[in-house]
Chain A
Amino acid sequence: METKLIKKELLPGIVRGLAEDTLVYAPVQEEDNIMFRVLEKDMEPILEFANTKNAPKNFFFPQAETMMRFLKKERGAELLEVPIAAREAVLFGVRPCDARSFVLLDYVFDDPKYRDPYYVERRAKTTIVSIACVRPPYSTCFCTSVGGHPMSKEGADLSLVDMGDTWLAEAVTEKGEKLLQNMGDLPGADEAAVTRKNEMAEKAAEVVKADVPASTIKPWLDENFDHDFWNKIHIGCLACGTCTYLCPTCHCFDITDEMKKEEGRRARSWDSCMYWLFTQETSGHNPRPTQKERWRQRFMHKFKYFVDNFGAVACVGCGRCVRYCPVNIDIRKIAQDISKL
Chain B
Amino acid sequence: MEINPYVPMPVKVDKIITEVTSKDIKTFRLTFINKEDEERFDYLPGQFAELSIFGKGESPIGIASSPTDKGYVEFTVQKAGVVTSELHSLEEGALIGVRGPLGNSWPLDYLKGKNLVLVGGGFAFTTIRSLIRYALDEENRSRFEKITVVYGAREPGLLLYKEELALWEKRDDIEMYVTVDKGDADWKGREGFVPAVCKEVAPSSENAVALICGPPIMIRFTLPEFFNLGFSKENIYTSLEMRMKCGIGKCGRCNVGNKYVCKDGPVFSLAELDKLTPEY
Residues of A bordering B, CB below 8 Å:
67-68, 70, 72-73, 75-77, 79, 82, 84, 108-109, 111, 113-117, 225, 251-257, 259, 264, 266, 271, 273, 278-283, 287-288, 293, 297, 300-301, 304-305, 308-309
Asked whether, in the complex, the Cβ of B250 is within 8 Å of the Cβ of A77, the reply is: no
* Bound CA span A75–B91, Å: 9
- B interface: dominant SS: loop
CB distance from A179 to the nearest CB of B (A): 26
Q: Is the CB of A271 within 8 A of B250?
A: no
Is B230's beta carbon under 8 Å from chain A? Answer: no
Q: Are A72 and B252 in contact (CB under 8 A)?
A: no
Q: B55, A79: Cβ atoms under 8 Å?
A: no
**B71 at interface (Cβ–Cβ under 8 A)?**
no
Bound CA span A117–B248, Å: 13
| Given A82-B4, A278-B253, A279-B254: 14 more A-B contacts, CB < 8 Å | A68-B7, A75-B93, A79-B7, A111-B249, A255-B6, A255-B58, A255-B251, A257-B54, A271-B252, A280-B243, A281-B241, A293-B279, A305-B255, A305-B257
The distance in angstroms between the C-alpha atoms of A257 and B57, with both chains bound, is 6
Cross-chain contact B250 with A116 (CB below 8 angstroms): yes
Decide if B93 touches A253 in the complex (CB within 8 Å). Answer: no
The 6 closest A-B pairs by CB, nearest first: A76-B95, A252-B252, A77-B54, A114-B248, A308-B258, A305-B258
Contact A251–B252 (Cβ < 8 Å): yes
Residues from chain B with a CB closer than 8 A to the CB of A279 are 242-243, 253-254
* Pair A287/B242 contact, Cβ less than 8 Å: yes
Partner of A70, one of B5, B55, B93: B55
Mark contacts of B70-88 with chain A using CB atoms, 8 A cut-off: 1 yes-contact digit, 0 otherwise.
0000000000110010000
Knowing A77-B55, A264-B55, A287-B242, say if A253 contacts B6 (CB, 8 Å). Answer: no
Does B94 touch A at the CB level, under 8 Å?
Answer: yes
Complex contact A75–B94 (CB within 8 A): yes
Closest residue of A by beta carbon distance from B56: A257
- Interface SS, A side: mixed
A111, A279, A308 pick with most chain B CB within 10 angstroms = A279
Q: How far is the CA of A115 from the CA of B257 in the complex (A)?
A: 23
Query: Once the chains bind, are B250 and A108 in contact (CB under 8 Å)?
Result: yes
* Complex CA distance for A254 and B7, rounded to whole angstroms: 15
CB<8 Å pairs between A and B, sample of 19:
A72-B55, A73-B95, A75-B94, A77-B95, A115-B2, A115-B5, A225-B277, A254-B251, A255-B245, A255-B251, A264-B55, A271-B251, A271-B252, A279-B243, A279-B254, A282-B243, A287-B256, A287-B280, A301-B255
Contacting pair A251 B7 (CB below 8 A) = no
CB of B136 within 8 A of chain A?
no
8 Å CB contact of B94 from A76, A82, A304, A305: A76
